[in-house]
Structure 1
Amino acid sequence: QAANTGITSLQKLLDSAKSIANQALQTTVGYSTKSNVSTTIAGATSTDLRGTTTYSSATALSNVLFSGAAGGVTAATSTTTLGASAVATYTGTAINAATTAASLLNGTAAVSDANAGVVAGDTFTVNGKTITFASGDAPSTAPTGFTKVAASAGVTTGNVYTDASGNSLVYLGSTTKASVGDVLTAIDVASGVQSNVAGTLTLNAGQTASTVNGSGALLLESSTGADLSVSGKADILKALGLTTATGTGSATVTAARVTASGSLGSFVQDGSTLNVNGKTITFQNGGTPAAAQVASGSGVSGNVVTDGSGNSTVYLNKGTIADVLKAIDLATGVQTA
């Protein structure tokens, strides 16, 4: 009897365990279904769910740079220039039939000199730079911040001094008098066509120097990096054959560049900036300086001068899209110079 009682108890325990197990199997544990989401992955297989879809930055690709080719639908390339492919020219009227760059600015020789009537304190403004005419002969010691442009026969007399920003002093002189060529020299330095490299007037790459043509008229040239704008007293500009306006008021003459297939459809402007990761890329009209001309710690790569900290200047006379990309990489640390 005791044995039967024990077996019956074990059977009851077994039945109870089965009941608990069945309840556990029928109960959702830990979560309940809220929604179902499905998607198709292009190119996915049972062994590789990654598929064949590729991704790119919509922001970086949202705008297209076009060249200046006819029609306006040709994409720019890495070699497309930021400035013009060619310079612009402003042609004046003849000062005198025999006028040359060596002719005197204030001289009175009827067949050659300009007789411009320039006095000390008169100024020209060229692309935002200032040319100031000063009295007396060129000093033996250059004014603070200025460097003398050495005399060059038939080009400039040695009466021109320039600063690092392209501003000039032109001494009217008494022993050696200022020439028409001195004015052209100062204009070219201000416009980025030429540079004063340690005292030597140097034509920047790809540029055309302003001159006097065979008829005695001035040919003013822009740089490829910026349009040319010359403002000054109307009477002086008229004496130089650059305007028909008269009087002591200001007159302005300009030479505007044109786009072409080798340039951007819209030029990058002198003085514009681009900020990248807190670094500044500045676009500057003018020729790219040689490595020996930049500050200690800076470097030159292509048409880019970088300060070693990620900030750069891209020179517009010869700068290209490739130079912009290089400057961006220097700012982000992708490249070093």
Structure 2
Amino acid sequence: MTSTNTMPAVGPPGRKGGGTARERREAKSRRRRTLRVVVAALVVVVVLGGGGVAWWVTSETDALATQSTTAKRLLATSDGKVAEQTTRVTLSTQITQAEAVLAESALTRVITGTGDARESLGAAADAVQGSMVEFARGQVETARKSLASAQARAEKVFAATEGQGVEDGTRARLQSALDALAAVDAAASSSVGGEDLAALEQAANELSSNRSVVTQATSALSDAQDAITCPAPDQTWDPDSGKVPDDALAPIPWVDDHLVRADVLDTLIALDAAYQEAFGVHLTINSSYRSYDAQKSIYDPSSPIAAPPGCSNHGLGLAVDIGGGVEAFGTEQYEWLKAHAEEYGWTHPEFAEPGGRVPEPWHWESVLARSGS
């Protein structure tokens, strides 16, 4: 009897599950080495990545903190020096918001960032800076206008006193003051058109510190003006008298060949309207503004009736002579004006009253006139 012995198929000697024990050990070792490399790589990525984020967060935080500190200084120094106060309010709000961002955790700052806070804070600071420039420029321009006013007046008096018997020393002081005014203005003028805040503030300070120049000019001007005296104590010499520019005068509507200063015309029209309601006719205007030459032509030193050139309110466009019954004291028309004229800005000066220096019922002046003449 033949017996068949069946054996299971086996692999090559020493192999189990597709390889020898040695091969299995080597494969396992390779897998371990690969895992260690992967783990090491992940550690490097995490460490390096985390360090980069940390550096970025620190850098952004430091930048925002520095910007906030600078903004706080700007807010403090801008107090009372801005043209628009709302710019400081906005800056204060943005500083508060920046401080809130700085108080957040590092993780929150990583997620939200600081860029928006820095941009908003920068814009608010720029607005305050611009408003400070605008304010400083306004200070300079205001001071320059004050200088210009003093300068224009001094120049006018200087010109008007020529040949009027004013001592040379007095006019020389006035000329010196004019030169000083011009020098101060020239020093400030270059800064007005620029955006340099420091230069503008310096110009404003210099103009303020040089107010003594204006005082000197005013004093010299007063000396020069006082050197020309009018014959009566209630008369004041004025370099503008008889020299009022055409564009500062206006014709009286119902007698357009007569002129008064434009800024008192409406009051005279209102007075005339009330007078018409009372008497049915316009005020009769016999005399109004007189030029220097016109005043000179009627002036008689032996008579107090007409003031000398430069001493008359007619020459300033602030006086009118009225007829139509007003030329006599005690008439109904005169008494009506005495009772009502001041309601409309016109008055009868003391020198023209019945017991005055020169009784003139017909002479009436705007309340803007400085003296009677």
Question: Normalising to structure 1: TM-score of the pair?
Answer: 0.24
**Which structure has the higher relative contact order (CA within 8 Å, separation 6+)?**
1
TM-score (norm 2): 0.23
More helix by share: 2
Flag the structure with larger Rg: 2
